[in-house]
Structure 1
Amino acid sequence: MAKERILLWGGRSQARVVDAHLRLQGRRVGYIFDYSLDEPQFETSAEFLNTPEHLSRVLSRCTGFVVCIGGNLGAQRRMISKHLMREFDLEPVEVISDTAIIDPEATVGKGVQIMSGACIGVATTISDFAIVNTNATVDHECLVGPGVHVMGAAAVAGCVTIGADATIGTNATVLPKLTIQSGAQVGAASLIRRDVSENSVVVGVPARHLRTETRIVDTSVVAKLRG
């Protein structure tokens, strides 16, 4: 892997965590891109880029990528990932901590990020570009959709379905056999004991509906990239 040059899209905390895991596994991050920063928010030997023009010049040298955008930006993470795959033929890199526990009967998709101490149960599917963060648990027979973010120490019980781009907040608990629909946001430490509708924001113990938020995807930066 001497010639490996992985691109990290994002220069904040999620990128720092991803960079650390890749280095521990002997992999090389060659470039970090973040158009919202003047410099990355952590020390790195990778080349930093902050304009689409600069990124365009090095895309042909990249051997893979990780989109390091967490929080409730799953739809944005998926859009960027698909653009890099389709327009530049780049391969997404799976970032899986050596301390994560993934059952042999679980299925893990492309470009997933599964962090330290995460636990994935029997017959569970973690779809493309999902994040399962530190010490989060996703129990048996769950379906975690593309772009989902299960935040640190969240507990998702068995037979739960989580739709695309939904977010399960830190320390939240989702009871068995429920459905969290696409784009929903579950607040930190909330208790989910009934289904959550699409694009709903729910908080509390037990969780209650707070508001509805439409997912917004900004294509302005990827539109400026040139091969």
Structure 2
Amino acid sequence: MSDRTRVLVVDDQPLIRHSLRLVIDGAPDLTVVGEAHTGATAVAQAARLRPDVVLMDIRMPDGDGIDATRGIVADPALAGTRVLVLSMFELDEHVHAALRAGASGFLLKDAEPERLVDAVRRTRAGESLFAPSILQRLVAHYLDRPGPARPARGPDVLTERETEVLTQVGRGLSNDEIGTALTISRGTVKSHIGSLLAKLHARDRAQLVIAAYEHGLVGSAGDALSAPGS
């Protein structure tokens, strides 16, 4: 089916690739279009297949997942491809490196199959996805790091409503959840998200999450964890 989300599975372990393929192909709207077992082959396969979403392992031979993510994001021909990092580890340096490389989300490999399928769908839709424990650590990193105090409000270029939407994005809410929280339609939320991406020069929603932290719109790690979409 042409409207299926096309997924590239990247992992150096054949058993994990097989398991991920079973989960993805088991969803009626998703399909695995290819596999890769190294960082270098991941970049090559992405360029050849142009998937919608890449499920990316971190620790692999011949270029790790961070380098591969950076290579995919840097390719103008893959502007519509999003990378969702899967890892057995939630080490801070992995999360930060993945986000700096341009990943749209970070999920642990012990996630339930339904959560993985939902993560692929949300990543395709342009939403960021973080495991709750990772979101907590990400928030804490930006709140606790040394440096000048962050502004209490968002950038001056944003309207009041856009600042409210950015705050909810930083808390990990989905578009539907933001619409419910702010009593606006899903279409209106998507319009505001598009405006935020343009005004803040952000590639995707993950960068909006970081922007919300950097501008002090998320008051504490507890704020993020209280979000139903986190």
Do they superpose with TM above 0.5?
no
Please state which structure has a larger fraction of its residues in helix.
2
Instruction: With a CA cutoff of 8 Å and minimum separation of 6, indicate the structure with the bigger relative contact order.
Output: 2
Q: TM-score, normalised by structure 1?
A: 0.33
